[in-house]
Structure 1
Amino acid sequence: MKYRKATFRDIEPIFRLVSGYATEGVMLARSRNTLYETLRDMIVAEAEDGSIVGVGGLHIIWDRLAEIRTMAVAPQMVRKGIGAEIVQRLLKEGDELGVEKYFTLTYKPGFFQKLGFVTITKEELPHKVWKECIDCPKFPNCDEIAMVKV
């Protein structure tokens, strides 16, 4: 497995991967436009055949605060450590930038709990976090679980 920063050629495979989970209701959809705008945030897992089998993003929100988001692993590749490796790489990248607090909004709290994240109420997150939520179809009735890692 090769882990690397995402490039333009990865947008369509990432879009298909994320859209599959969004259709199932276990992940928020991401438009192609959003994926292009956040391209530099993402790390992908590339299989030996060149296919993209995992993705995750580190999105800087505010002073020393970042979100782990757009986490997806191809269904046939789950439980092989790919998602955990992507998160570890994103955390390392954030640490190098000086991030002190990470959060995620997820439907899979067990995955993040194994990586040291703890569940909090959404109200405990800074208001700055919600600026992008206004465009979400689930706003203001977000049913994702908020988690943090300090």
Structure 2
Amino acid sequence: MTVTCRKAALDDVDSLYDIIASYAEKGIMLPRSKEALSRHIDSFVIAEYEGRFVGCGSLFQLGKDLVEIRSLGVTDGYKGQGIGRKLVEFLTEEAKRQGIPKIMALTYEVAFFEKIGFSVVPKEIFPEKVWTDCVHCKKQHNCDEIAVLKRLD
């Protein structure tokens, strides 16, 4: 299976919205409006297989030395085929190109991230995340996501 990853374009907003909304409905991803996706399209990457959208992810800068992987998802029917790994590798390379030494994520899929070199860390070490997203989340006071971190330097 040959999957390619590329930077997202405005034409991808509907596909991005659909996959993110499907995860958000299950309570495992924060929803994003089409307007927000359009504004931040340059932070998103797309995975494609035979010209079809099969996954996405984004890189969000939380500070000068920290970025977060977020909105990472794979479409139904394509999970378990290495697409998530390819997306994370693409995003990690982008963080390296930007000279960012740390990359983190909040996740329910700890084993997935551990297999690709991330370590579990306390969420509290990321006040940048708390003040940008967590303050708007309905799970703010009883978050069940696990923080993972990978040093790139």
User: TM-score by structure 1 length?
Assistant: 0.91
Q: 1:145 to 1:39 in 2, by over 3 A?
A: same
1:1-150 to structure 2, matched below 5 A, reads 1-48=3-50, 50-125=51-126, 127-133=127-133, 134-150=135-151
Same amino acid, percent of matched pairs: 35
- After the TM superposition, which segments of 4 or more aligned residues of structure 1 sit over 4 Å from their partners? none
Mapped partners of 1:73, 1:24: distance in 2: 14
Give SS of 1:27's match. coil
Mapped partners of 2:145, 2:40: distance in 1: 21
Gaps of 5+ in 2: none
User: TM-score by structure 2 length?
Assistant: 0.89
**RMSD of Structure 2 on Structure 1 (CA):** 1.4
Mapped partners of 2:144, 2:64: distance in 1: 26
Return the letter of the residue paired with 1:131: W
Number of aligned residues: 148
Mapped partners of 1:115, 1:27: distance in 2: 21
CA deviation vs aligned residue, 1:95-119 (integer Å, no higher than 9, x gap): 1111101110111111111111111
Mapped partners of 2:35, 2:111: distance in 1: 30
Mapped partners of 1:28, 1:8: distance in 2: 20
Gaps of 5+ in 1: none
